[in-house]
Structure 1
Amino acid sequence: MPSSSRRAVGGRHELGQNLLVDQRVVARIAALVPPGPVLELGAGDGALTRRLARREEAVTAVELDPARVAGLRRTLGGRVRVVHADMLRVRATAPNVVSNVPFGVTTPVLRHLLRQRAWTTAVLLLQWEVARKRAAVGGTTLLTASWWPWYEFDLAGRVPASAFRPRPSVDGGILLIRRREVPLVPLAERGPYQRLVAEAFRGDRLLPAIRGLVPASRRWLTAQGLTRWTRPGELNAERWAALYRGAVELRRRGAATPGSRDARA
């Protein structure tokens, strides 16, 4: 399976995709897509594409496998714009993005989407445990915390392995990502915010990592209902934003600033 954004991603199983065959799951995913044009990444055999084609709005389906591209154009070319391309090199210009993401390239696909600004809602079928992590079920991760000020991540259901062909060894999960109408941190400050988050995740406990980054960090934790034993993964989106604002205030006072390392989010 591909593991880098420099590798091509398509619909063939050898490229990492398990095709969706359960029409009940197809209907569930399509129902989560708001009104408006849709971009589908990795159309495969077109199970989702055919359902999306029933909509009045424009649908664009991206697929790398040339044989599947030809098949989709024959059957859906009159209703769907079928693009022969790598999903990791396509700009998301529609407000809605849908994808049965190849399990092996989930993180590159997420990074690719989150760095783009044109879309507002993404409905992604991922590996179950990955979907749970991205939705911060049981604690958040560096990637989610890095993008929380601008996106909401929600778990929209579990998909059994039997819904795919070939059948994978794990279940899938539907991740719903929506762009916030009002960001918790200005987008222009994404770099400094993500550097702070990366620094905070360097340690097992939050307090040692943020000491020197946030004024009166112990008092800040107490005010937030947290303790010196709090882990970075226990903070929610609002607390990460509050932590960043504390660091900004410290910088304004002329004290230390967040680390200069780029966040690999």
Structure 2
Amino acid sequence: MSAYSHGRHEHGQNFLTDSRVIASLMERVASTTGPLIEIGPGEGALSRPLAGIGRSLTAVEIDPRLTEALRLALGPAVTVINDDFLRYRLPSHPHVIVGNIPFHLTTAILRRLLHAPAWTDAVLLMQWEVARRRAGVGASTMMTAQWAPWFTFELGERVPRAAFTPRPGVDGGVLHIRRRTTPLVPTKNRKAFQALVHTLYTGRGRGLGEIITRAKILPSQQAAQAWAERSGVRPTALPSDLSVVQMVSLFESSGAAPPRGRR
């Protein structure tokens, strides 16, 4: 048994040990192209098969002991870097992110990735409930809604806690994030779009019609009702019920975005 099989609490180490789950993750990675960067490789459960698919692999590991062990195990074909991924400088060329990420750092890692410009796909294993929320299952979260014009969020399989050593208190889940080749909103308008989403999600009212009117996103209640009818939205719906297309439509109708002909 590995000297590190119990994981280290301060690093949130729950090592993936289920070969079926590893194979499933590899199938997702195989659907992508480009160099690979692995977050928190741990003992190399994913690193070893990733190293065997003939693509450049960089593994970023915060634990110096595991870093040295991985360098010995994986050899010179894999670049193993001892660093905190939250501070690691990602490359400016297209690449793919893969990782069984520390559950307690999920939100911080997602925020770091969503602000990074070059990666094309991120195949991530995280808490099941967080993966469901980020994929908009049931309803969209504010974070997902704010980034949906630039990324798609696909929920993968549920991973039982027994697939990890040590066993965490909750199940894991796979989230596959893809960068849209053609954004639904120009990047230069990202801050304005995200501000509108924040206003909607934090606004007061018993439904979208009331929230939009109170927040003065549209000039009048009549304008809010007209937009809702055009977009197929119930005035009593909540912001989390909106699709990305409907949210973009509201953004464009609000005047915060330039007319389509000027883009």
Change over 3 Å in CA distance of 1:209–1:250 after alignment to 2? farther
Alignment of 1:66 with 2:39, yes or no, is no
> Is 1:150–1:184's contact at 8 Å kept on the other side of the alignment?
yes
1:185 corresponds in structure 2 to 185
Q: What TM-score do the two structures reach when normalised by structure 1?
A: 0.87
> Is 1:63–1:83's contact at 8 Å kept on the other side of the alignment?
yes
1:3 corresponds in structure 2 to none
1:213 corresponds in structure 2 to 217
User: In 1, distance between residues paired with 2:88 and 2:212?
Assistant: 37
Any residues of structure 2 matched to 1:126-145 within 5 Å, and which? 126-145=126-145
User: In 1, distance between residues paired with 2:149 and 2:95?
Assistant: 19
How far does the alpha carbon of each residue in 1:64-116 deviate from its partner, in whole angstroms, 9 at most, with x for none?
Answer: 10000000000113221000000101133251000111111111000000001
What letter is aligned with 2:217? L
User: In 2, distance between residues paired with 1:67 and 1:42?
Assistant: 13
The offset of 1:16, in angstroms, is 1.6
How far does the alpha carbon of each residue in 1:41-65 deviate from its partner, in whole angstroms, 9 at most, with x for none?
Answer: 1111110111100011100000010
Change over 3 Å in CA distance of 1:66–1:210 after alignment to 2? same
Match of 1:22 among 18, 27, 34: 18
> Is 1:91–1:116's contact at 8 Å kept on the other side of the alignment?
no
Match of 1:247 among 214, 235, 254: 254
User: In 1, distance between residues paired with 2:67 and 2:257?
Assistant: 54
User: In 1, distance between residues paired with 2:59 and 2:15?
Assistant: 15
2:151 corresponds in structure 1 to 151
How far does the alpha carbon of each residue in 1:109-139 deviate from its partner, in whole angstroms, 9 at most, with x for none?
Answer: 0000000111000000010000000000000
1:259 corresponds in structure 2 to none
The offset of 1:251, in angstroms, is 8.3
Q: Once superposed, what is the RMSD of the aligned Cα atoms? A: 1.6
What letter is aligned with 2:224? S
Change over 3 Å in CA distance of 1:143–1:250 after alignment to 2? closer
1:41 corresponds in structure 2 to 39
User: In 2, distance between residues paired with 1:76 and 1:192?
Assistant: 45
1:257 corresponds in structure 2 to none
Change over 3 Å in CA distance of 1:90–1:135 after alignment to 2? same
> Is 1:142–1:197's contact at 8 Å kept on the other side of the alignment?
yes
What letter is aligned with 2:209? L
1:88 corresponds in structure 2 to 86
Percent identity, please: 45
The offset of 1:210, in angstroms, is 1.8
Change over 3 Å in CA distance of 1:251–1:25 after alignment to 2? closer
2:243 corresponds in structure 1 to 236
1:13 corresponds in structure 2 to 9
What letter is aligned with 2:88? V
User: In 2, distance between residues paired with 1:15 and 1:250?
Assistant: 42
Match of 2:28 among 27, 32, 36: 32
The offset of 1:191, in angstroms, is 0.5
Q: Which runs of 5+ in 2 are unaligned?
A: 1-6
Total equivalences in the alignment = 242
Instruction: Please identify runs of 4+ aligned residues in structure 1 that moved more than 6 A.
Output: 249-252
User: In 1, distance between residues paired with 2:76 and 2:135?
Assistant: 37
> Is 1:156–1:173's contact at 8 Å kept on the other side of the alignment?
yes
Change over 3 Å in CA distance of 1:45–1:13 after alignment to 2? farther
1:222 alignment partner, SS class: helix
User: In 1, distance between residues paired with 2:107 and 2:211?
Assistant: 25
Match of 2:49 among 46, 51, 56: 51
